[in-house]
Amino acid sequence: DIQMTQSPSSLSASVGDKVTITCRASQDIYNHLAWYQQKPGKVPKLLIYGASTLQSGVPSRLSGSGSGTDFTLTITSLQPEDVATYYCQTYYSAPKTFGQGTKVEIK
Amino acid sequence: EVHLVESGGGLVQPGGSLRLSCAASGFTFSTDSMNWVRQAPGKGLEWISYISSSTYTIYYADSVKGRFTISRDNAKDSLYLQMNSLRDEDSAVYYCVRDPFTSGHWGQGTLVTVSS
């Protein structure tokens, strides 16, 4: 089974800061990686798929990169509305494993 | 517009059973594979099961294999999850999710609480 290791588990940054979250797969998943944002009490929202394709309506300050085993979600200028928990997920094969999540807060 | 509406959650004792349903609309349900994902209180997301459109292919997470059964009724545009031998650690919000995950279509979830 593919394991997804996400880091850090939490971070605190100031408004306007650049934020980077990483996700590592235990084996090559090509670009079969998605990123989600989840706010408390809400359904996860798809942000990025194919490792780097932005879902319609997602702000351009969010971006994804990587392929193979190493992936990154970047927020170029952190905004208050970005406070949430972010998850990576591989949909390459079953089990379609999620990372452990990264909680993003404002300093 | 795509809608996925889960139902069937509730309070159940350890060792008990529960059947979740997911009513789909806004897309051709019979041609799409589906998934169940759960989230325990305060915890992360856990994929637990997948079923192909024809039911030919089914997968389970190790944590539920042998206890949970995924099924679907394409005539009723509905997805199901039969949960048996429930444990405390099965307490979670259960989401049905359209496949591929890149569709971004999730239901609102139904809460299952396993407690005596």
Three-state secondary structure of B21-38: EEEEECCCHHHCCEEEEE
pLDDT number for residue B15: 98
B53 and B31 Cβ atoms separated by less than 8 Å: yes
Which of B 8-67 lie inside 8 A of A, CB atoms? 35, 44-47, 50, 59, 61-62
B37 and B46 Cβ atoms separated by less than 8 Å: yes
Which residues does residue B79 pair with via DSSP β-bridges, in sequence order?
Answer: B22, B72
pLDDT number for residue A77: 96
Residue B45 to residue A46, Cβ atoms within 8 A: no
Which of A 47-86 lie inside 8 A of B, CB atoms? 49-50, 55, 85
Q: Is A106 on the interface with B (CB under 8 A)?
A: no
pLDDT number for residue A4: 96
Distance from CA of A46 to the nearest CA of B (A): 5
For B92, how many CA atoms within 13 A lie in the half-sphere containing its CB? 21
pLDDT number for residue B78: 98
* Chain B hits for A43, Cβ within 8 Å: 95, 106-109
A95: left (phi over 0), alpha (psi -120 to 50) or beta: beta
Distance from CA of B56 to the nearest CA of A (A): 15
Of B47, B104, B106, the CB nearest to A96: B47
pLDDT number for residue B96: 98
- pLDDT tens digits along A22-42: 999 999 999 999 999 999 999
At residue A56 the predicted structure's pLDDT band, cuts being 50, 70 and 90, is very high
- pLDDT tens digits along A69-82: 999 999 999 999 99
- pLDDT tens digits along B38-58: 999 999 999 999 999 999 999
